[in-house]
Amino acid sequence: MEGVYIENPDRIWDRVLEELEGGKKDRVLRLARPVRLTDSVLTLAVPAQFAKDIIEERYVSRIGEVMERELGKPVEVKLIVEPEAGERGEIEAEEAEEKEVFDSNLNPQYTFERFVVGPSNRIAYVAAMAVAENPDGKTYNPLFIYGGVGLGKTHLLQAIGNYIKKHHKHLKVLYVTSETFANDTIESIKRGDPLSLRNKYRTLDVLLIDDVQFLESKEATQGEFFHTFNDLYNANKQIVLSSDSPPSQIASLPDRLRSRFQMGFVTQIRPPEFETRVAILRKKSEELGVELPDDVVNFIAEAIKTNIRVLEGALLRVVSYAAFCGSDITLELAQDVLRDVIAEPPPVERREPITISSIQKAVASYFKISVSDLKSGKRTKSIAWPRHIAMYLCRQLTNASLEEIGESFGGRDHSTVLHAINKIEEASQTDEELSRTIRILMENLRG
């Protein structure tokens, strides 16, 4: 047993910071956030391993001493690494008081308050707020938000869910990716239990589905989703969808789904303009408790233009490095730390129309290998990984069948191609560098 849960750990943590810092803010300590506090254990979340190592080496014993004075008994200090470490104490307290019977699968950090609004996303934001405030299935139904990787689609979808959970507590809300929906469909087929799937999805008041472009190659999933969509829509239940492309440009999507996706409100999130990127960096630095010089903010905002996740990651990288080295955050330090992040990939000549051949040439050029390597039987990672990416792009950007793609890559069978495509799809959900690579290649190929 950890002990009795103590509410509002932030207040006690503030007193710990005051005593340890002695009036001067410590960047490393400021990266830590209390996520749980009992009368015997304090759990702190930090955004990176280096911060965990430094705090464990320099501060854990001192934190324990202050906590013992505050609570009147020994307190163990635990550190965990969470890239999205933030203000979680309040959330943990609520969860301790009442465990939700139904898991909406929402990240509580995705809120409208934390979403930076600019010209590139204002319409999508306003539409999302309208749905969140009136989730009656009549405002915009479905709401379809599309845009490139890392521009905030997931944030908006989950912000809708979190707002509804807070202000319309009686409503049943669920956020899932299309891959989760597909996996649930497959499991229900394997078990011969379609009722469990329908009970999960067709009894909802609000369904939020991310990355619906991945439904296009899954016929069984498409059929199940079609009927799920109809049941919810006809019952005036709210549906919100996201994709990397508008419905009209999702290849191989059945017309019956495409027409339904277009029957509500379709809106785009574009890459943020310079002023919005600056605002995002300012807001993120405030959350980290760090003041950034204007020239550093402007440098990062100019260097990274098309992906908010990469933008925020670059900021965290600079802040973390400066804290680790005990250095001031300067333009020179930022330029040095981000040298590899902002390096431009070699230019790829545009080909029209996009074909398997043009994709192979683009991928080979990007990874500095030959097209013959992509078609060969070589299985080293330096060849196999680009080959998988090329197969994935062929599936996304052409109408070629799995068999045609396999034949163009040295006579591989369709199951090998499908395995490669699924592997890239899954990895791109969590690997920001892979997502950036795919985006760059797509932009180069599309011209």
**309/246 same-domain check:** no
**Tens of pLDDT along 44-94?**
888 877 678 778 877 888 888 888 888 888 888 888 887 654 444 334 434
User: Which residues in 109-123 are b (16+ Cβ under 10 Å) and which e?
Assistant: bbebeebbebebbee
User: pLDDT value at position 4?
Assistant: 55
Q: Please state, rounded to an integer, the average pLDDT across all residues of the chain.
A: 83
DSSP 268: E
**222/256 same-domain check:** yes
pLDDT at 332 over 60: yes
**Tens of pLDDT along 240-249?**
999 988 887 7
Q: Is residue 428 part of a domain?
A: yes
Q: Is residue 219 part of a domain?
A: yes
**265/279 same-domain check:** no
Greatest mean pLDDT among 52-56, 172-176, 345-349, 429-433: 172-176
**373/302 same-domain check:** no
Q: Is residue 113 part of a domain?
A: no
What strands lie across the sheet with 265-269, from one edge to the other?
173-177, 206-210, 238-243, 143-147, 265-269
Query: What percent of the chain lies above the pLDDT cut of 70?
Result: 88
**136/27 same-domain check:** no
**Tens of pLDDT along 392-439?**
999 888 878 888 999 999 999 988 999 898 888 878 777 778 888 888
Mean pLDDT of 102-120: 86
Domain containing residue 26: CATH number: 3.30.300.180
User: Which residues in 373-393 are b (16+ Cβ under 10 Å) and which e?
Assistant: bbbeeeeeeebebbbbbbbbb
pLDDT at 3 over 70: no
User: pLDDT value at position 25?
Assistant: 67
Q: Which residues touch 65 (CB under 8 Å, ≥6 apart)?
A: none
Domain containing residue 240: CATH number: 3.40.50.300
**193/316 same-domain check:** no
Domain containing residue 372: CATH number: 1.10.1750.10
User: pLDDT value at position 195?
Assistant: 83
**190/329 same-domain check:** no
Q: Which one of 212, 241, 269 terminates a domain?
A: 269
Nearest-angstrom CA–CA distance, 257 and 276? 34
CB 144 within 8 A of CB 266: yes
Q: Which one of 337, 368, 383 terminates a domain?
A: 337
Please give the structure tokens belonging to residue 94. 């609520």
User: pLDDT value at position 193?
Assistant: 81
**162/260 same-domain check:** yes
Q: Is residue 350 part of a domain?
A: no
Which of 393, 425, 428 is CA-nearest to residue 409?
393
Q: Which segment of 161-170, 186-195, 335-344 scores lowest on mean pLDDT?
A: 335-344
Nearest-angstrom CA–CA distance, 202 and 179? 17
Helices then strands, each counted (H, E), the chain: 21, 8
Q: Is residue 109 part of a domain?
A: no
The phi-psi region of residue 23 (left if phi > 0; otherwise alpha if psi is between -120 and 50; otherwise beta) is left
The total of structural domains in the chain comes to 4
- Helix extents (H) in 272-380: 274-288, 294-303, 308-325, 331-337, 356-367, 371-375
**143/249 same-domain check:** yes
**215/317 same-domain check:** no
Q: Is residue 100 part of a domain?
A: no
Which of 110, 96, 171, 160 is CA-nearest to residue 133?
160
Confidence of residue 216 (pLDDT cuts 50, 70, 90): low
Is the link from the previous residue into 142 a cis peptide, with omega within 30 of 0?
A: yes
pLDDT at 2 over 70: no
Name the residue with tokens 């391993």: 49
**157/215 same-domain check:** yes
Q: Is residue 3 part of a domain?
A: no
Q: Which domain holds residue 145?
A: 122-269
Q: Which one of 219, 253, 269 terminates a domain?
A: 269
Domain containing residue 310: CATH number: 1.10.8.60
**290/259 same-domain check:** no
Mean pLDDT of 292-321: 87
Q: Is residue 248 part of a domain?
A: yes
Which of 387, 352, 381 is CA-nearest to residue 366?
387
